[in-house]
Every structure is written in C-alpha cells, then in structure tokens.
Structure 1
C-alpha cells in the first residue's frame, strides 16, 4: 500500500495563505463591481464575483486549493457578520415587542416555503436521475 506524500508547507506559507486568499476574494469583488458598473448588470457585485470565482474553479483556471483555506476561515468567523443584526435587534426592541409575532410568523412561513421548495426540487432531480439510470441500463441490455 503506497501512501501519497504531500509536501509540507513551511510555517510562513501557512501564515500568509489565508490573508492572501482573502485579498484574492476582495480583488474578485472589486473586479465584479467594475463589471456591474461597466455593463450595468442587474446583479449585485458580490453575486457576480462569486459566479466569476465559481467559473474559474469549474474551468480549472483557479485551483480549489488556492481559495479553500480562506473560505474556511471566513466561514469560521461568520458569527462576526451577524453582529450588526444583533445591534439592530437591540436598537429596535420596541418594534419587536409590538410587531415581533408578525415578524416571526413571516420568518417561519418563508423558511417552511424554502424548505418545501428545496425538498420538491431534490425529489424531482432524484427521480429524474433514477429515470436516466434505468434508461441507460435499458440501452445496455439491448
């Protein structure tokens, strides 16, 4: 049994990897902002930047390893992005006392609708893939 050995990264490379990848994300956002402004796209720059990044990864222009550590770090620190929402809840506590049940009702119903739509799409795609597999198996038998 042969083990695939990976070259170990040096200490300084590990320390600069995440900041360099975050700078790469910022560069994608700035490029996307230029594209949105220049072509008057109806999408926000963050969506265009993510689509651009996804396209580069799917086309294998940009290796996944070049963005993996930065994305893991950002996901781990995502709680910091919710601090403004908590501050808003504190600032508008009177609104939540009066209209809170309506806000929670809307959030609950919309969450259920999103879950139901996702389940429906997953079920349809699953059935379609089963149908494709049966069709492919039928073609092999002939």
Structure 2
C-alpha cells in the first residue's frame, strides 16, 4: 500500500469513529430528553443523558474511543455552549436585580462544591494511579 492510501484509510477510520461517537452522544442526549418528559423528572435532560452515557460506556467499553473522538473537538469549543445560558441570564436581568443575593450565593457555592469534588476525585485517582504504577 502506498502512503497516500494509508493516509486515506486512517482518515476514513477517524471519520467513522468520530461519526459513531457523535451519533452515540446525540442519541443519548435525545434519550435523556425523552426520559425526562416521559417520567416528568425535575432534572435537566443533558444530565440524564450523561448518566445514560456513563452506563453505556460502562457496558460497552469499545465505544470509549469513538465517544472520545467525537467529544474532544466539542470540548475544545465548550465556551460556545455557554452563550445561550448567558443570554438567558441577561434576559432575566430585571428579576436578578431584585433577588441577586441568592443567585450569587448559589453560583459561588456551586462553583466551590464543583471545585472541591473535582479536586478530591483527582486526588483519589492520582493515589490509585501511584499505587498501581
């Protein structure tokens, strides 16, 4: 095989892997939305979709590479996904003006909790990696 054929084959393989991963992510997001509507859950559909993603990846480990191939480019541009949220907050600015304190407390507490859980998880994983290595 020539170098060009090898490159084309590798590119086709990456494209198929990306496509499979994107289909898995989109299907689980859609399934999360359907579950929330069907069960009348007070949880964002994206969170339910991520729990479903965790379950699928735990059961079908072969999909990890495909989901990683699709999610890596999306994560590089993650800030773009926050634009609708920021626009929604700005649309409710008048409401926030009257009740800003609970909003700020919730934002700071949520950020602190997220940071603490992330740090503890990383610490635990690094200890586990050190014990295994």
Match of 2:33 in 1: 33
> What is the SS of the residue equivalent to 1:43?
coil
Q: Distance in 2 between matches of 1:41 and 1:89?
A: 23
Structure with larger Rg? 1
Q: Which runs of 5+ in 1 are unaligned?
A: 1-7, 130-142
- More helix, by proportion: 2
Ranked by relative contact order (alpha carbons within 8 Å, sequence separation 6 or more), the top structure is: 2
Scaled by the length of structure 2, the TM-score of the pair is 0.56
- Residues 1:82 and 1:15: Cα distance change in structure 2 (over 3 Å): same
Scaled by the length of structure 1, the TM-score of the pair is 0.54
Q: Which runs of 5+ in 2 are unaligned?
A: 1-6, 128-133
* Larger CA deviation: 71-80 vs 59-68: 59-68
Aligned residues: 117
**1:91-119 Cα distance to aligned partner (Å, 9 max, x none):** 899xxxx99x979x647843674268548
Match of 1:110 in 2: 109
> What is the SS of the residue equivalent to 1:79?
helix
**1:16-62 Cα distance to aligned partner (Å, 9 max, x none):** 43244223211111122222222223322211111111012112365
* Larger CA deviation: 43-52 vs 9-18: 9-18
Q: Distance in 2 between matches of 1:41 and 1:87?
A: 25
- Considering only aligned residues, what root-mean-square deviation do their CA atoms show, in Å? 4.1
